[in-house]
Structure 1
Amino acid sequence: MSVLTLADVYRARRRIEGRVCRTPLVESPSLSALARTPVYLKLETVQPTGSFKLRGATHAVARLADQGCKRVVTASTGNHGRAVAYAARTFGMETTVCMSSLVPDNKVEAVRALGARAHIVGNSQDDAEHEALRLTRDEGYAYVPPFDHIDVIAGQATLGVEILEALPDVANIVVPLSGGGLFAGVAFAAKQVSPKVRLTGVTMERGAAMHASLDAGRPVQVDEQATLADSLGGGIGLENRYTFAMTRDLIDALILLDEASIARGIVHAYRQERLVVEGAAAIGIAALLDRALPEQSLQRGPVVLIVTGANIDIDQHRRVIDAA
């Protein structure tokens, strides 16, 4: 029996309504011409915190607020922490965000700008998560996981519902894949509404924890590495409860991309789509540019690429564009 139902997803949507944007779904003429099928971009870049993470964070924080919670803590590669800080502030909660030294400075400062405490610890997302769990255990915070929590997954799943409502005949949805909260939620909702829709996960070659775990048949630990797709860094947790199994059961294909491909995705988004996006958000575009999606899959019908976030360090963005 599934731990999540479609009714749960619709309840999540009602709970976050007015706090999270219903984001645009726009066709890309350049990518449609390349793929020879309609290609649409789901622009989570317009969320108030600049990424899709606001959906899951807002739903989880709202549930905690219903229980009278006053202090929350999380671990983040940047976007989830920013989302938790934003959501918690609207409910009058105190927030601590644990982040590793690999998190870009712009994402650390964005968390602080929302009034949250940015607690830098260790050299990996796993280190940050261990500290967040310690604060939960020793200091009485309520923990808001970045992905492996049913309230977070339900919040992310609202994105899948939106896609199917706007484009009922979508045949392919391409989702950046990290810890699996977004993938699990979108894939679950999409396949509940339209069982034949194909779900492709895309991630970077450097330190792809979910890919390694799927290959091993169980959650495994990987070394986190610096990458343009920094939002996709970190492990999935050796005690993963939800996202590993959901991703394993719902994924139709998984694509790995190198750093040069991710850079090309960033450049294309800027020059052709007029979008400033982070590496993780450009990864679906990069997969199309690399012709990594099988021709047979593209022939099935329209493609949606989830453009997950805009929170790239502007100096890094400039270097990528200048180097192209």
Structure 2
Amino acid sequence: MHEHEGGLADVGAEGSRLGRDDVDRAVRRLAGRVWRTPVVRCDRLDALAGTRLWLKAENLQRGGSFKTRGALLAVERLAAAGSRGVVAQSTGNHAIAVALAARATGLPAVLVLPEDAVPTKIDLIREAGAEIVFAGTVLAERMAMVESIQVLRGYDAVDPYQNRDVVVGQGTATAELIGQVAAEGGRLDAVVVPIGGGSAIAGACLAAAGEGLAVVGAEPDAVPAFTAAVRAGGPVTVPAGYTIADGLRPDRIGSLPFDLAHRTVASVVTVSETAIEGALRAALLHARLLIEPAAATALAAALDHASGFGADVGVVLTGGNVEASLVTSLLPGLDVPS
């Protein structure tokens, strides 16, 4: 793992139009419509991390991930405005969430996935009744397809990174975590969130505003899009190597998430494939939580670095839509931290 250090400061011009109040409003809009997922404690994982970990189990959320939060807000707003239908690109979980939200609002939906999308996620999208279109393996190819469908069908795009409702919706998971820890008499020193296209880290930064806690990002060594953007001073496309964390494969951070997060994030940890695999096994065998590799990326960062973040560290386990074959392939050796 490698760590990029950033500074704590105010968000940039575009991001400054969003704040903690927007997350609070989103919490109220979502009340009773998404599950208030539990926060899990595990003595074995605390011992490994050398500090207290508070695991926000969004793998148990409707649709199998925290993406349900933002997609529901975004699609409902479009439906209320008279949308003819929605289209979105995704590596999987955002597409599942948009498909479910579209079904709930009666809108047709087209979801654009990479050709190497995880079969489990494809099945969940189809079960929700949405249409799937495959387009290449990189972000630019999916974006081009979304634009084509917008022109041909007149559908509205629900971007997983640039949509403001999506970003504040994702932030409600971190806001809930902060509140749940406080209800137990605790106070977080930091929260660790995985980084793909950036909505999770941006939402976490909004939710953490004024709370006096550090926001830490975690991304795969193979796709360090946020780290590269910080070094370049803005979003750049990075060569995307293979990672089992399919949810973190976007090769470019969104401009809105970057604007919101790049000055606010305390640090970003890049995580090896071996560490991601080990964290997935540790979550399953020690905490009895089945999480997908994107969520395991955040847990891996916490297990290796959390002792430096403070006495109480939250980890947003963003999803649990993982292939059974991947899980079984990682279990035979049982090379899990103990």
**TM value normalised by structure 1:** 0.93
Offset at 1:104?
1.2
| Aligned counterparts, 1:312-323, within 5 A | 312-323=322-333
Deviations 1:178-221 (CA, angstroms, capped at 9, x unpaired): 111011111211123x1x20111011011222221112111111
Match of 1:137 in 2: 151
Which of 187, 209, 216 is the aligned partner of 1:200?
216
Distance 2:284 2:179 in 1: 28
Which of 141, 157, 179 is the aligned partner of 2:197?
179
Match of 2:318 in 1: 308
Offset at 1:222?
1.7
Match of 1:297 in 2: 309
Distance 2:136 2:207 in 1: 35
Distance 1:106 1:296 in 2: 36
Query: What code does the residue aligned with 2:317 have?
Result: V
Match of 2:188 in 1: 170
**Alignment of 1:79 onto 2:79:** no
Match of 2:173 in 1: 159
Distance 2:229 2:220 in 1: 14
On the 8 A contact 2:195/2:218 being kept in 1, the answer is: yes
On the 8 A contact 2:45/2:287 being kept in 1, the answer is: no
Distance 1:105 1:225 in 2: 20
Distance 2:238 2:168 in 1: 27
Name the SS of the counterpart of 2:294 in structure 1. Answer: coil
Deviations 1:90-148 (CA, angstroms, capped at 9, x unpaired): 00010100011121122112111110011011122331122112211332010000122
**TM value normalised by structure 2:** 0.89
Query: What code does the residue aligned with 2:93 have?
Result: N
Offset at 1:323?
3.8
Distance 2:233 2:58 in 1: 31
On the 8 A contact 1:263/1:320 being kept in 2, the answer is: yes
Q: Structure 1: any 5+ residue segments left out of the alignment?
A: none
Aligned positions, number: 316
Match of 1:217 in 2: 233
Match of 1:285 in 2: 299
Distance 2:199 2:302 in 1: 23
Name the SS of the counterpart of 2:295 in structure 1. Answer: coil
Distance 1:304 1:69 in 2: 38
Which structure ranks higher in relative contact order (CA pairs < 8 Å, sequence separation ≥ 6)? 2
Query: What code does the residue aligned with 1:320 have?
Result: L
Distance 2:309 2:320 in 1: 28
More displaced, 16-25 or 50-59? 16-25
Distance 2:260 2:238 in 1: 20
Q: Structure 2: any 5+ residue segments left out of the alignment?
A: 1-12
On the 8 A contact 1:277/1:309 being kept in 2, the answer is: yes
Deviations 1:65-112 (CA, angstroms, capped at 9, x unpaired): 221213000000000000000011000010100011121122112111
Offset at 1:40?
0.9
Distance 1:41 1:189 in 2: 16
Which of 211, 220, 228 is the aligned partner of 2:244?
228
Name the SS of the counterpart of 1:96 in structure 2. Answer: strand
Give percent identity, aligned residues only. 33
